Structure 1
Amino acid sequence: MEILRVFNNNVVLARSARGDDVVLTGRGLGFQAKPGQTVDESKVVRTFAPVDGRDVDHLGQLVAAVPPEHVKLAVVALEAAGLSEVVENSPSLLVTLSDHLSFAIKRVRENIRLDYPLETEVGHLFPTELQQARQVLAAVNAESEVQLPDGEAVAIALHLVNVGFTTGDLSYTYKLTGILQQLLDVVGEAYGRRLDNTSISVARFITHLRYLFVRIQSGKQLEGEPSAVGTAIRESQPEAYRTAELVATLLDLRLDTTVTPDETAYLALHIARVVSDPRV
């Protein structure tokens, strides 16, 4: 295999003998390596192939940002929950879940509490995924010295929901890809900057939008009655909320839907996170 890009000492982008671009991980795999060189396959521990439509460079960026031990933790937890097939068939889920677990572990170590107020809604809309998520969380806590709170199962469930983001219709995939870029342009214009599509923050925002597409496609948007979450976010992040309303309006037009107030509120939360990142 030929190295195409070096992300860090342990993660590289390579082209396989079949001509597929894949992300490879392994201790020291990228150390002093350069594009054009041959991969030392004896160092390869895991291969990530973007079989679910994710851009391979974004996938590599996310892999490089997560400590290897947290990727291993996600693998062990998914397999313990009976989701080995997901590990093999959805590499982007493994990466984004690893990223989430890594951030959650960091929050617990720093004594930062984050409540997930949507457990009732997620349990109603995605009961199977929530039950699987609870099994994943139990496996994580059995393997890790840091114990994550029960509420993390809600976020893990949304990662599992994203596995269903496939239609078999390439034209629909192309359409959503175009919409994603348009939404990034709208957010960038609102803040007078051009968002860096290769940044981790933007990649996370794209992941959130993919979750939203899943819920719109399945007719299962998140919605509270009344929405205390939306009110709190609207008051604390007014500029981000106004931008989220623009994004929601665009989605209404492009996908012939009506984005709910709770979905708009969570869009605002992610927009605020993206624009607060000085690297974007």
Structure 2
Amino acid sequence: MKALRVLNNNVVLANDETGRPVILTGRGIGFSSQQGKAVDPTLIERVFVPADDRPHDPDADQMAEALALISEEVLDAVVTALGDVGIEGRESTRPTLAIAIADHVAGALDRAARGTVIEYPLRAEVQTLYATEYAQARLLLKAINARMARQLDASEATALALHLVNAGFVSGDLSFTYTMTGVIQQMLAVVRERYGVDVSHESMNVARFITHVRYLFVRVQQHQQLTGQEATIGVGIRQHYPEATRTAQQLATIVELRLGRRLSEDEVSYLALHVARMTMEADGTAA
């Protein structure tokens, strides 16, 4: 790999063997690199590949600059911890994740130094709706603290989990993830109140519903809703589960009001199928 720009001692913007721009991090990697010269591969700890790998990609420059603004201690702790807990491999296509987490860690350490305490009101929701990410976040927090002179509070696992969830979306900020969390809770409340069923995450069908809705939000955000299967699948679902379909239409209205996006008929049909599964599980029947 050849260096394009040396951002600081630990961050270098380079071109790989195919000519795509990559961001390289590693202790002292910038100190020994020169523009146009090959980068010492033994100093490369992590390779970040921006999603848009065009030559001279301005996003790569901006991401490299953002990484360079983060302190050496925090960047090293976050980048190493992401690899150690298995969230990211040595080569990552999500530099925004490392940037977001490192920026959050830096802010949390600053708040702790000033004695500022933040309560995360979504802790219960995060533990329930995003159990996998929350478990990863706890491991990540432990790994980060193992490499830091100053320690983050255990409550920061909630924020880290939200960043991991947010990594699946196009948007770089957490606002969409916060909205999604509230909407999922609202949807589950509708099912609970309408059918009087337990919607705890221990239920397999509730867990499947949550997973489905999360991917639905990704499709909505990326303008890739399911379409074209209405004639074969949607009609059958509506005929077999008319009550669940009415509930799904109500859920679709919630999504439209909160996101300003109308769901396709196919998306509504699949919501109906998941609603039917949850209610039938409570009745002891199979969908």
Q: Which range, TM-score by smaller chain? A: 0.5 to 0.7
Question: Match for 1:72 among 54, 63, 76?
Answer: 76
- Taking a change above 3 Å as real, the CA distance of residues 87 and 110 of structure 1, as seen in their structure-2 partners, is farther
Q: CA deviation at 1:216?
A: 5.1
Length, aligned pairs only: 192
Q: CA deviation at 1:20?
A: 0.7
Is the contact made by 1:52 and 1:90 (CA closer than 8 Å) also made in structure 2?
A: no
Runs of 4+ residues deviating >6 angstroms: none
Residue 207 of structure 1 is matched in structure 2 by: 172
TM-score normalised according to structure 2 size:
0.53
- Taking a change above 3 Å as real, the CA distance of residues 137 and 59 of structure 1, as seen in their structure-2 partners, is same
Paired residues for 1:222-237 under 5 Å:
none
Residue 47 of structure 1 is matched in structure 2 by: 47
Cα-to-partner distance string for 1:183-242 (whole Å, 9 max, x where unaligned) = xxxxxxxxxxxxxxxxxxxxxxx6216x6179659964899x9xxxxxxxxxxxxxxxxx
Q: CA deviation at 1:60?
A: 0.8
Residue 201 of structure 1 is matched in structure 2 by: none
SS in 2 for 1:14: strand
Is the contact made by 2:10 and 2:27 (CA closer than 8 Å) also made in structure 1?
A: yes
Cα-to-partner distance string for 1:63-97 (whole Å, 9 max, x where unaligned) = 11122332332244334544354974534322322
Cα-to-partner distance string for 1:155-199 (whole Å, 9 max, x where unaligned) = 10011112323xxxxxxxxxx6xxxxxxxxxxxxxxxxxxxxxxx
Is the contact made by 2:49 and 2:92 (CA closer than 8 Å) also made in structure 1?
A: no
Residue 138 of structure 2 is matched in structure 1 by: 134
Structure 2 unaligned segments of length 5 or more: list them. 190-219, 226-254, 260-287
| Bigger relative contact order, structure 1 or 2 (CA pairs below 8 A, ≥6 apart) | 1
- Taking a change above 3 Å as real, the CA distance of residues 23 and 112 of structure 1, as seen in their structure-2 partners, is same
For residue 212 of structure 1, what is the amino acid of its counterpart? F
Residue 151 of structure 1 is matched in structure 2 by: 155
| Partner Cα distance (2:31, 2:172) in 1 | 29
SS in 2 for 1:13: strand
Residue 161 of structure 1 is matched in structure 2 by: 165
Is the contact made by 1:24 and 1:47 (CA closer than 8 Å) also made in structure 2?
A: yes
Superposed CA RMSD in Å reads 4.1
Q: CA deviation at 1:124?
A: 3.1
Cα-to-partner distance string for 1:132-167 (whole Å, 9 max, x where unaligned) = 2122223333443322122211110011112323xx
SS in 1 for 2:256: coil
| Partner Cα distance (2:81, 2:29) in 1 | 25
SS in 2 for 1:257: helix
Within the alignment, does 1:62 sit opposite 2:66 as a pair? Answer: yes
TM-score normalised according to structure 1 size:
0.54
Is the contact made by 1:23 and 1:60 (CA closer than 8 Å) also made in structure 2?
A: yes
- Taking a change above 3 Å as real, the CA distance of residues 222 and 140 of structure 1, as seen in their structure-2 partners, is farther
Q: CA deviation at 1:257?
A: 3.5
Cα-to-partner distance string for 1:248-276 (whole Å, 9 max, x where unaligned) = xxx99x9983337xxxxxxxxxxxxxxxx
Is the contact made by 2:47 and 2:92 (CA closer than 8 Å) also made in structure 1?
A: no
- Taking a change above 3 Å as real, the CA distance of residues 164 and 219 of structure 1, as seen in their structure-2 partners, is farther
- Taking a change above 3 Å as real, the CA distance of residues 87 and 218 of structure 1, as seen in their structure-2 partners, is farther
| Partner Cα distance (1:114, 1:145) in 2 | 21
Residue 98 of structure 1 is matched in structure 2 by: 102
| Partner Cα distance (2:89, 2:183) in 1 | 26
